[in-house]
Structure 1
Amino acid sequence: MIEVTLNAKSTQGALKLMKSYFGGEITERWGEYTLTFNNDIGKGCIRCITFDWGVSLLEIDALFFEDILIVSRNEHFNPIRFSYCSQGCYKNRFENETDFHTVEQFHSSIIVSKIGLKLYTLFPKEVHIVINDIRIVRTEFLKKRNNQLSALNENLYRVFVDDKDETAFAYYSPIHLRMEDYVKTLRDLKTEGMARMLQIEGEVYHLLSMHIARHDKYQNNEPLPNSLSNEELKLIRRHAKKIVDDPSLGYNLDQISRDSGLSQAKLQEGFKFLYARTVTEYIRHVRLEAARDLMNTTDLNISQIVYTIGFTSRSYFSKIFKEKYEMTPHEFRKQVVVINEKTES
């Protein structure tokens, strides 16, 4: 086991300390600092970005060849950590605890220690881990005039206003598949420069709101559906992704039930939980979004688009398109043309 002691004053400082243990090189571009390493200890990359008001993002995408124990001493830098595990698993515990808590794939956590109490994080060897870790320094965040702390539930409010770091707090969420879609969007951004930084910051705040909303559900005793297991929810998400990847296929509840091996009742419950829509509503939503994208990016006419995305009736498509976007497909296409002409001129 390799023990890595971190006692930095910032997320960027923690990245520099990691380099002293893991080796590799740190590069910087548009305010993103990335540590890349490939040696006997492990291979992968760790990147960090710091925003205003004490908010920063640390992302780990790595495979270690030895067990790695991260010891966070929290003497100079003790942020609230909103973490999400996209791949693999890892473990956490406070210094005064004997047992680790395992954070599985697609699970999240909210953790903050208190001054003088070490936080241990264990990355098991030979496990590819991908972690999104949003960190908030309370003394800085409290200066933000529109931080809206009063809207937090009582437990999280106490954590945020504890600027003297006197209380340890740990919340481990059950599976949260919807968050993975947003984390993936954040990882896959292709923009550059200032636009990229603004997009990343916007996605970070979106993810924070999802962490807080999930904790609110926990506080209000709104657990996951009892009839669905984690594996069943993952299976439902895979079939939902198939619909997004190719919305033109003839999807329906019967066919998805046969392909997935799940009952129609479980499918409906899972889609409502993950996407707040029935199966039919989700299929229709994805097709309409695909139609809108095609109107924005191609020269296909409306009829061609209708059949490309899997609808068979142009009149039905026009009806539900107007219900969703408050304009007809023809009006939307005219709007796109006008915007493109202004951009070109």
Structure 2
Amino acid sequence: MTTINLSSAAIKNMFEQLHHNFGGSLAVNAKEHILTLDNELGRGHIRGITFKGGISYLEFDMEFAQDFTLRTGSEENAPICFAYCSAGRIAHSFNNETKKNVLENFQTGILTNASNSDNVLYFQKDVRVKTSLIVVRTVAQTDTAKKNGLNYRLQELMLNGKPAENTIYIGSYNLKIADQITQLKAIKQQGIVRSLLIEGLVHMILALEVQQHTDDLKNRENQTGSLNTREMESVKDISDFVNNYPERQLSISELCRKSGLSPCKLQEGFKLMHGTTVTDYIREVRIEKAEELIKNTDLNISEVVYSIGFTSRSYFSKIFRNKYNCSPKQYKDKQNMMAASA
């Protein structure tokens, strides 16, 4: 088993050490660091970015060619780490403890450290792992100037004003976070627009992690619901299918046959992942696709309506107005005016 020790939690220093140990190609764009590997140690990428206010985002999308251990130290004011596993599984222990806590696919986790305590992450050979970590720097109790900041408020919520200890909370399964991480990976913009979009989605993921923890405390006896990991993966696949084929007339029975889930399981999964019913989700996907077509193509409104699976233009206009506060025609006219004046 290979072990790498990281002496600094700062993103810049951490990636310099990872690059030194792993090789690969390190790209730095503003404050975003991406280490891409395709060698005898493994393949995939490790990404990290720091935002103002002491919040960092770290992402592993890796398959290592051997068992691998990553050891990181913490400072006197150790950060709080919010973790999410999108694929595979990852194990963690404190210092040299033999007990390992495992974060599985679609599970949330919250990690706090005692001062100057080590974290050890374990990656299994030939297992594709996608894990996201949001690291929130804590604030010293004596630093009263920062007590209105997000860091301090999260610190008070998770620690209740007490000194941090070595604790890890493995939460329930959450598919909404997987959806946000998919959006994060899909960002194509560059420069400040990219940074702003990443920061916004990271804050959304953080909010969902905190909400999940709150919900878990209220529902300790039913943290995972009735869906297992395989069933949630099926819900994720069906969600992707709806996004890829919004024009198809999809019925609940057809989606149940395709996923192997019962109608109750399918609806429960969509409530977990998207906070809505299957039918409402399909309608929302179609409306957003229609907005893209109106803005980016020469199709007229009727052509847009039928290309995304609606059969009634009047019904489409009604729900479009409810979402965007204008009619499809008004939206199209504004786009044409902007194009003409450009």
Report if TM-score (shorter chain) is over 0.5: yes
d(CA) in 2 for partners of 1:85, 1:265 = 25
CA contact (8 A) 2:58 2:133 kept: yes
Deviation at 1:309, TM superposition (A): 0.6
2:90 aligns with 90
* Residue 224 of structure 1, CA deviation: 4.8
* 1:39-50 matches, cutoff 5 A: 39-50=39-50
- Contact kept? 1:9, 1:77, Cα under 8 Å: no
Match of 2:100 in 1: 100
Map of 1:137 onto structure 2:
137
Asked whether the 8 Å contact 2:78–2:164 carries over to 1, the reply is no
What residue is the counterpart of 1:315 in the other structure?
A: 314
**In structure 1, what is the equivalent of residue 214 of structure 2?**
216
TM-score, normalised via structure 2 length: 0.89
Equivalent pair of 1:95/1:119 in contact (CA under 8 Å) = yes
- 1:196 aligns with 194
How many residues were matched structurally? 339
Partner Cα distance (1:119, 1:243) in 2: 40
Corresponding residue number in structure 1 for 2:254: 255
Q: Once the two structures are superposed, what CA deviation does each residue of 1:176-214 show, in whole Å capped at 9, x if it has no partner? A: 222112112222211112222222222221211111111
Indicate if the aligned counterparts of 1:7 and 1:77 stay in contact, CA closer than 8 A.
Answer: no
Q: Is the 8 A contact 1:247 1:283 kept in 2?
A: yes
Q: How has the CA–CA distance of structure 1 residues 332 and 146 changed in structure 2, closer, same or farther, with 3 Å as cutoff?
A: farther
Q: Which one is further off, 10-19 or 296-305?
A: 10-19
Q: How does 1:1-345 map to 2 (within 5 A)?
A: 1-75=1-75, 78-95=78-95, 97-139=97-139, 146-148=148-150, 156-158=158-160, 166-221=164-219, 223-224=222-223, 226-341=225-340, 344=342
**Equivalent pair of 1:247/1:286 in contact (CA under 8 Å):** yes
Which ranges in structure 1 are unaligned for 5 or more consecutive residues?
none
SS in structure 2 at match of 1:173: strand
Are the aligned partners of 1:53 and 1:144 in contact in 2 as well (CA < 8 Å)?
Answer: no
What whole-Å deviation, never above 9, does each CA across 1:44-84 have from its counterpart, x for those lacking one?
Answer: 33222222111112222222122111222224683222222
- Percent identity reads 33
The alpha carbon displacement at 1:307 in A equals 0.6
What secondary structure sits across from 2:227 in the alignment?
Answer: coil
CA distance in 1, matches of 2:12, 2:171: 27
Q: 8 Å contact 2:58–2:134 — kept in the other structure? A: yes
Displacement after TM superposition at 1:12 (Å): 2.1
Structure 2 unaligned regions, length at least 5: none
CA distance in 1, matches of 2:27, 2:144: 31
- Show structure 1 runs of 4+ deviating over 6 A: none
* Mapped partners of 2:182, 2:136: distance in 1: 21
> Aligned to 1:28, what secondary structure does the other structure show?
strand
Q: Residue 107 of structure 2 aligns to which amino acid in structure 1?
A: H
Aligned residue type for 1:63: E
Residues 222-258 of structure 1, C-alpha deviations (whole Å, 9 max, x = no match): 7456332222122122112111111111111122223
CA distance in 2, matches of 1:58, 1:15: 10
